[in-house]
Amino acid sequence: MTVRTDLALECRELVGESEIEGVIEKKEEKQNVKITRIEIKTEKAALRLNKEMGNYITLELSPFSKSVCQNEKEIEIIAREIKSLIPNSDGTVLLVGLGNDNITPDAIGPKTIEASFATRHISESMPELNFRSVALFSPRVLGQTGIESSESVKAMVEKTNAECVIVIDALASKSINRLGCTVQICDTGISPGSGVNNKRKSLNQKSLGVPVIAIGIPTVVDALTIAYEAGGETVQNKNELSEMFVTPREIDVIIENASKVLALSIAKAMHQSYSVEDLYFLSL
């Protein structure tokens, strides 16, 4: 039995030792934002943590359910971390919002796309605006379209000649305390089995052919994880529980708020010469 989590921070906690070979870990605090940087440097460490090799940045923020707490400074901190993982060129960035917009905790990807603005069609004709070329895409889910996200995202990467993909996705945490107040940014893309609907295929440099930065916010805990935590291995109804997820009653406010904060943070990372306020009005 394994507890399911998409957070490198929690995978690392589950291993539990004070130091893990092949893993570099740094903690920092800025403006009340706790930042943990985990680098998984070897295949062996990747196996122990059950996460791909690469860099994982976790930001612990004020809760997205309390909109008054977010502010320009948090956005600038998130933007800086995103920027640190994006290839330093001026090619097109394809921004992809994974997930099902009809299931509230899974809608963070499509909602972030909705709150973002595309510039690919104007960055070339109006270079004086200093926009990086950004294209937007929400693939929806297999049941809605008959097309796997991994197929349609690859088609878009090829057609737009994107140099890099940013995927936004809802994550599963093992702890309800992390829901709606954590952002994970990594350079390893999306792994199978993550998100609300855990049948997702890989979206990473190997499958897409370009670097893939993944930005995720935990919005659900598996119902099985809750049951295991309460009752241990004796849990009944495992099959049925595995088809259920747990999410906060205030998930609507979390998604609404988090998607706008992510959209602004990504815009700030893309179009650095603009202030957050300008970007807010641009994305109206």
Stretch of residues binding a second copy (CB under 8 A), selected from 4-12, 44-52, 164-172, 254-262:
254-262
13, 21, 90, 277: residue in contact with a second copy (rule CB under 8 A):
277
Should residue 1 be labelled a site residue for a second copy when binding is judged by CB under 8 A? no
Closest approach, Cβ 55 to a second copy, in A, equals: 27
Of residues 118-177, those binding a second copy (CB under 8 A): 118-121, 133-137, 142-148, 151-152, 154-156, 158-160, 176-177
Q: Record the tokens describing residue 5, joined without a space.
A: 């989590």
88-117 residues in contact with a second copy (CB under 8 A) are 100, 102-104
Element (H, E) at 185: strand 182-186
Q: Which one, 90 or 158, has the nearer CB to a second copy?
A: 158
Distances (CA, A) of 61 to 6, 90, 183, 186, 251: 18, 30, 8, 17, 16
Stretch that binds a second copy, among 36-44, 53-61, 201-209, 223-231 (CB under 8 A): 223-231
> Is residue 28 left, alpha or beta, with left meaning phi > 0 and alpha meaning psi from -120 to 50?
beta
Shorter beta-carbon distance to a second copy: residue 188 or 247: 247
Residue from 227, 262, 269, 270 touching a second copy (CB under 8 A): that is: 227
Q: Which of 61, 169, 170, 200 is nearest to 105 (CA)?
A: 170
260 neighbors 67 (Cβ within 8 angstroms): no
Q: Contact with a second copy (CB under 8 A): which of 70, 191, 204, 219?
A: 70
Residue 194 within binding range of a second copy, rule CB under 8 A: no
Name which of 43 and 240 has its Cβ closer to a second copy. 240
Tell how far CA 201 is from the center of its chain.
Answer: 15
Tokens matching residue 61 = 């923020």
For residue 138, the number of C-alpha atoms closer than 13 Å in the C-beta half-sphere is: 20
Binding to a second copy (CB under 8 A): which residues in 5-64? none
Nearest-5° angle of CA 197, CA 203, CA 209? 170
Stretch that binds a second copy, among 22-30, 78-86, 200-208, 250-258 (CB under 8 A): 250-258
Q: Which among 219, 163, 159, 211 has a CA at the least distance from the CA of 190?
A: 211
Q: Which two tokens stand for residue 45?
A: 């460490």
Please choose, out of 5-13, 36-44, 225-233, 265-273, the segment that lies near a second copy by the rule CB under 8 A: 225-233
